Structure 1
Amino acid sequence: MQTLIALAVVALFVAGAVIYLNNQGRQMAFTTSRLVRELSEAPASTSAKPLLPQLVRDYALRAGGRIDGPAMFRARQSAVLVMKPGGAEVQLLAEQWTSTLASGFVWVAEGRMFGLPVRAVDAYTHGRGHFGVQALGAFPIARGRGVDFDKGELMRYLSELPIYPDAILNNSELSWREIRGGRVEVTGRLGTGSATVRFGFDREGNIVSMQADDRPRSVGNGRTVPTRWFGSYGMYETIGAYRIPTYGEVAWMLSEGSFTYWRGTLISCEPVSQD
């Protein structure tokens, strides 16, 4: 009798876990679709086009960008993520939707961490950052919200502008300035301030580097610290009508030295129909 009761309890537990996992999986899918819808519905702040340094305009046009070009792109990526110095590598496959008229993106990735399947959502829509990671499609293992995350996600959007020349030409929320040494900086505005990154060019006019002085870095317990952040771009290839970088690395400058935590390869990138 006791054996039958124990088996019944186990069966109920398993059934409950399955229902919970299915519900949580559907909830995360709903969140992703909602964020993508928010991204597609976000209007540009003004019809005016950004004023660009000639170096930046030349890059965008040579890369295939067009005034009044596509409003959104969908990309596929493969990437390697390292959570901490000396940590294990996490292999990821991801999809990303990126707006060219307003600052915003939605990134969804799947991989395995500690042997478990994980799904991550990273986004910036309507001026707010969103970050979450779930294991087994249901159990949250990381989450980020707040002013610092807003700034960090906007900086991520800025850092990926070399991949989206239409955004360089058409996103009027951004301001550009040429600085010394053949570099430029781009600034996006937040309700609580602004975020800026700088780009470096090679002799052919390709963007090959990025850096920022103060991207918020999570250090646990919901705390962040402003940290120097930098990256590189390479493997320029023709994808459809565009010639853009298809490989990138991103790193933090820590007290013990640089820590490259992200290496990614662009698999595909194409406009999304707004019909």
Structure 2
Amino acid sequence: MSVRRLDRAVRALALPWDPAERPAVTAADLAGLPGPAQRYLRAMGVPGRPRPRSFRVRLRARFRLRRTGGPLPCAAWQYNLADPVVRVFVMRLRVAGVVPMLGTDTYLGGHGRMRGTLLGLVPVAEGRGPEFDLGELATWVDDACLLAPGMLLTPAATWSPVDDSSFDVTVADSGLTVTVRLTVDELGRLLDVSTTDRYLALPSGPVRARWTTPVDGWECVGGHLLPARARAVWHLDDGDFCYVDGRFEDLRLEVPPR
């Protein structure tokens, strides 16, 4: 999957960008947050750096289209912007090891959309509507938790205590509101992110279910902390469905949209 395809999709949105430098996050910016949240932000190296306005990252993974099928090789790139809240995710799967299936997820202005094509020409999947709106915003928040938590230090985000090892982050955008729960260890390292503000598309229709992105260790790559293993799991009444299993690479912060 070429990053050029992502860049073309982002440029087509004509997103705003203010190049002015911004002040670094200070201890005072963290003072009113729950204790576990402060540990987490310190562990992620947020204090002392400006709040990121955007990031771009690559994902290499094994992807399952359905619970009964085998995993497919997946290469993906994504771009997230903080103001306005935007997410663009493009991926390529190899069906039967040969036929490329291209997918694009977007969120902009409170609207989410999913599209899938074979060979970039034949439509095979299309999703939009309230369920996709909410789910794409929840995914944007999850992305920020894993890759650039400083993006969540904004008036649109509310940080709420839960217990000594977890806290909630609620984000409002374009009339939508989503909440994710973060669980951290004693050093503040993120263990899991979970939410019920996402819908799984089933043949019978969309089903709201608990969705998690557990973290199996952390590693420093290019000066950034990244999950050593990236997974996405649906927790359903008849069992769990892990449909993404891979790793993030080449994380870059402060990438202008043009």
Select 1:174's aligned residue among 149, 157, 160: 157
**Cα deviations by residue, 1:155-208 (Å, 9 ceiling, x for unpaired):** 111222221132133x33221111135211111224454211111111221011
Structure 2 residues without counterparts, runs of 5 or longer: 24-28
Aligned residues: 243
Q: How far does the alpha carbon of each residue in 1:234-254 deviate from its partner, in whole angstroms, 9 at most, with x for none?
A: 331113333232422111122
User: Could you say which residue in structure 1 is the equivalent of 2:44?
Assistant: 63
- Bigger-Rg structure (1/2): 1
Moved over 6 A (4+): none
CA gap 1:181/1:57 in 2 versus in 1, 3 angstroms: closer
Q: Which amino acid aligns with 2:114?
A: F
- Larger helix fraction of residues: 1
Equivalence for 1:4: none
* Distance 1:242-1:57 versus aligned 2 partners, 3 A rule: farther
RMSD of Structure 2 on Structure 1 (CA): 3.0
**Deviations for 1:1-30, whole angstroms, at most 9, x for unmatched residues?**
xxxxxxxxxxxxxxxxxxxxxxxxxx9986
Give, in whole Å, the separation in 2 of the partners of 1:145 and 1:152.
Answer: 10
Structure 1 residues 30, 97: closer, same or farther in 2, change over 3 A? closer
Aligned to 2:216: 234
1:244 aligns with 2:226: yes
The partner residue of 1:157 within 124, 131, 140 is 140
Query: Which residue, 255, 258, 272 being the options, matches 2:237?
Result: 255
Tell me the TM-score normalized by structure 2: 0.82
Identical residues among aligned pairs (%): 24
Shift in alpha-carbon separation, 1:162–1:30, aligned structure 2, 3 A: closer
Q: Which amino acid aligns with 2:34?
A: P
CA-to-aligned-CA distance 1:108-140 (integer Å, 9 cap, x gap): 111212431111111222222121111111111
Give the structure-1-normalised TM-score: 0.77
Q: Which of residues 50, 60, 63 in structure 2 aligns to 1:78?
A: 60
In the alignment, residue 237 of structure 1 is paired with which amino acid?
E
In the alignment, the residues of structure 1 paired with residue 126 and residue 179 of structure 2 have an alpha-carbon distance, to the nearest angstrom, of: 24
Deviation of 1:82 (Å) = 0.7
